[in-house]
Amino acid sequence: MASPNKQTQFNIWYVLAAMLLIFIFQGWWVTYNTVEQVPYSQFEQLLRQGKVAEIWVRDNTIEGTFKEPTKQGRDRFVTVRVDKDISGLLDKYGVTYRGVVTNTFVSDLLSWILPLVFFFALWMFVFRRIAKNQGGLGGFMTVGKSKAKVYVETDIKVTFADVAGVDEAKQELQEVVAFLKNPQEYGRLGAHIPKGTLLVGPPGTGKTLLARAVAGEAGVAFFSISGSEFVEMFVGVGAARVRDLFEQARKKAPAIIFIDELDALGRSRIANPMGGSDEKEQTLNQLLSELDGFDPSSGIILLAATNRPEILDPALTRAGRFDRQVLVDRPERIGRRQILDVHIRKIKKDDDVDLDQVAQLTVGFSGADLAGLINEAALLATRRGGTSVTMDDFTNAIERVVAGIEKKSRVLSHDERTRIAHHEMGHALVAANLKGVDPVHKISIIPRGVGALGYTMQRPTEERFLMTVTDLEARMAVLMGGRAAEKIIFSEISTGASDDLQRATEIAREMVARYGMDETLGNRVYLAPRENQFGQPMVEHREIAEQTSREIDIAVRERVEDAFRHAVEILTAHRADLETGAELLLAKETLTDADFPPIRPADKRAAAN
C-alpha cells in the first residue's frame, strides 16, 4: 500500500491537470463567445460602412473592435490578413491602427511542455497502477516480495465453533491456540510447541478453515499463501519470497504462517533424476533454513496443508520442522450431522427436514460437499418458488450430486423404458433379499447425467469400516441384479449393465489380488495400492508372473459369474414381484421404499443367502 505522502503527490497531478484543462476551456469559451470570426472581404465592407473603431495589425491576422456590438453581443472581431499594405486603406477610412509584434515564445514553449507533461502524467498513472497490482514493471520491481495475504485480528471471523466434524483435529490444534495466547505459561515446564503443524487429509475436509479458526481463536495476525505462489520463472525469486514472508511474520509476532498446498513447494527432491539445484529446490532449501532458524518461543507458528503427504520431502517432515501431522479426514455420520447443523443456519428450512436421514444418505461426503449440498437444496427450493427448503429438496439435491441432472428431454422408446424398469427393479429385489446389504431408498427410470438411464439408490443404516467376503459377494450380486433381470425377462442382455460390470469386476479383483480372499491364490497381495490414503490415484506396479496373472483373471471371472448366478436364482424365485414392480415403476417413473413392499426392508431380506 502506498504511503499517504505518495498518495498526496500523486493527487497533485490530477489537480494540476484539471486546472490546465479549466484554463484552456476558459480561454476557448471567452474567444468563442466574445470574438467574431469575419472574412477579409467582410472586413473591407465594415471599413467602408464605418463600423470599425480600432484595429491591431499582426503578421497574419487583423484584430479589431466594433463601434457598436453586434446582435450577438460581440464587440470584437478577427480576420486573416490578406493585403500586406493595409495602411493606405485604413487612412482612407480614418481608423486608428497600430502594429503588434507577435511574441510566440510562450506558445512555442507550451507546445513542447504540454505534451511532455501529459505523457509524464500518463506514465506516472500507469506505473503506479501496475505497481499497486504487483504486475508488469511494478511486479518485476517487487518480484522478491512475499505474496502472502495478511489478515489482522479483526479480519478473522472464523472460530472453532464454525468448524464441525473434525473434533480430533480441533483438540490437536488447541495446544497451538494456548501457546499463542500465553507462550510463557505454556512453556513453564520446559516444553515447546512444535515448529510446524501439517494438516493432511482429502480435498474439501476443512484444512484451510481449521487454520483460519486457529488464528481466529488466538486473535493474532494470519499470513496465508499458496505453495505455488513461491515459484516463479526467475531463479532465486521463491527463496527471496520465503525470506520476506518470515521477516514480515517476525515483525507482527505473535503470528501464524499458513502455507496451503504445501506439496507444490515441498515435493521430494529425490524424484528429480537429473539432480541439480533448480528454482523449486532453492525455494525448499530456503524454507528448511527458515524452519531451523526461528525460535518457537518468538510466537510464530507455521501451519501447512496438503492432500498428498506421501510426496513431501523427508527433510520437511522430520522432527524439528513439520514434526506434527494432524489428520483431517472425511467426517463420519455424527460429524456429517454436525457439519449440516453449521451450514443449515444460513437457509430457511422446513420442519420436515430430517438431518439425521440426510447424514445417512451422504456417506463419503466431505465438509465442502455437504456445504454444496445444502446450497443445491436451497437453489432447488428457490427454483420451484417454495418458501422454505423441504426434505424433498434435500433428496433431489443428493440425487443431483450423486447421479447427475435429470434428462427429461431424453425421449426413450417404450421397449427401452420397459427394459430399464426391469433392470432397476432387479437391483432392488436382489438388495431386498440379501443379508448385510443397505436397504433400497429410491428407484427411478428417469435418465440422469451423461449415460445413466436409471438408478437405484440405497441408504446405509450404519457406518461400515470392515467388509467380509459375504458382504462383498452380496454387493456384487446386487450389481449383477440388473443384467440378471434382463436375462430372465427378455432372454437377452443389453449394454445397460456396463457400469455394473465394471464395478463388480473391480470388487472381484480387489478381493482376489489385494485382500487375499481367494483360497487358490493364497494370502498375499499381488497388486500395489492404486490410491494413497486419501483416495487419490497413484501409479500401479504389477510385479507378478504371467501364470499368476492368468490365475488372477480366472479367479476374478469366476467370482463375477457366481454373483450373476446368485442374482438369477433370487430373481427367478421372485419373478412375480419383479414384473409387478417393473409395471409400477413404468407407471410412476420413481418409487420409494414406501411405494412398493418388495423393496421395503422386511423379513424376507434374510432369505436366499
The binding site for Zn(2+) comprises: 423, 427, 500
Query: Catalytic one among 424, 463, 473, 569?
Result: 424
CA angle, corner 453, sides to 572 and 379, nearest 5?
130
H/E element, 303: strand 300-306
Rounded to whole angstroms, the Cα distance separating 140 from 232 reads 11
The 3-state secondary structure of 186-221 reads HCCCCCCCCCEEEEECCCCCCHHHHHHHHHHHHCCE
CB 516 within 8 A of CB 525: yes
d(Cα 393, Cα 373) in Å, to the nearest integer? 10
Beta bridge partners of 305: 199
Q: How far is CA 51 from CA 41, 75, 95, 540, in A?
A: 14, 11, 10, 105
Q: What is the CA radius of gyration of the chain?
A: 41
For the record, the C-alpha cell of 1 comes out as: 500500500
Mapping DSSP to helix (H, G, I), strand (E, B) and coil, where does residue 152 land? coil
- Biggest distance spanned by C-alpha atoms of the chain: 134
Amino acid at 340: L
Query: How many angstroms separate the CA atoms of 5 and 296, rounded?
Result: 37
Question: Does 424 qualify as catalytic in the annotation?
Answer: yes
The three three-digit cell numbers of residue 274, written as one number: 537429473
Of 597, 607, 591, 606, give the one whose Cα is nearest residue 441: 591
Among 373, 378, 439, 379, smallest CA distance to 401 is for: 373
Nine-digit cell string for 326? 494432524
Residue 425 grid cell: 427393479
Q: Which residues are catalytic?
A: 424
